[in-house]
Structure 1
């Protein structure tokens, strides 16, 4: 079996509030090789115990970048296609043929992405993970993991 190569995607959390989700996504970055960016203001300190616990010993292996705000993150990431994830969207994320360097954008845990972020001209499309009717949303780190693994699957886990 051929060894996988890093997932060529970039995950961006806008104003994350729960350190466990950010730590778990740092671990996702280390395991898959995707870049992980956070845009502040953050709802916790980057030295938070819960963040370190969730990231385990993978934190130093993650491709992790912290930005002061979303505009600063965009300055570092663009030009690129930006796919915003929202439980209110109607297009399934599996309908997209992802490209190397695409950005997967996720909003803060209690509210999701703000309407102005979803309407921003830098947002290429708004996508959702299918859920049963009446469901509010999936955990942020879980949503990011599902999306990253779909992108990596589309790239053949880098083994092609």
Structure 2
């Protein structure tokens, strides 16, 4: 099963939309605290619509807690960052891989990226979004 990891997400609507997509694709969602919202927040539920109760989601107190509870993620995790040289489509993902996305305002912390440079991926963006 594919896994999406959100490290300290800040926006409930983004997390809700990602949660809904996880339900549709049978993907597990991992949320690493601190979260910028409460899990019962209306914006989160509204974005996730009626799917939130069907979501396979686990919440972790911090990144260390996530790693300790998911030892199988080691070597099988990819880190989405604008700083990566490798494009996401250049990677062959295994069935049980993990894709991590950082905070909307700051991304994944530099120390995590440096430790995992070979597994950093970039999603190309053009125009005014880049």
Normalised to the residue count of structure 2, the TM-score between the two structures is: 0.91
- CA–CA distance in 1 between the matches of 2:69 and 2:100? 14
Equivalent residue runs for 1:1-160 within 5 Å: 8-80=1-73, 81-120=76-115, 125-132=119-126, 135-136=129-130
What secondary structure is seen at the aligned counterpart in 2 of 1:65?
strand
Stretches of structure 1 that go unaligned for 5 or more consecutive residues are 1-7, 137-160
CA deviation string 1:40-70 (max 9, x = no partner) = 0111111111001001100011111111111
CA deviation string 1:81-134 (max 9, x = no partner) = 11000012121011111002111000000111110111235x751001122277
- CA–CA distance in 1 between the matches of 2:21 and 2:128? 28
Stretches of structure 2 that go unaligned for 5 or more consecutive residues are none
CA deviation string 1:17-54 (max 9, x = no partner) = 00001111111111110000000011111111100100
- CA–CA distance in 2 between the matches of 1:37 and 1:87? 21
Normalised to the residue count of structure 1, the TM-score between the two structures is: 0.75
RMSD: 1.5
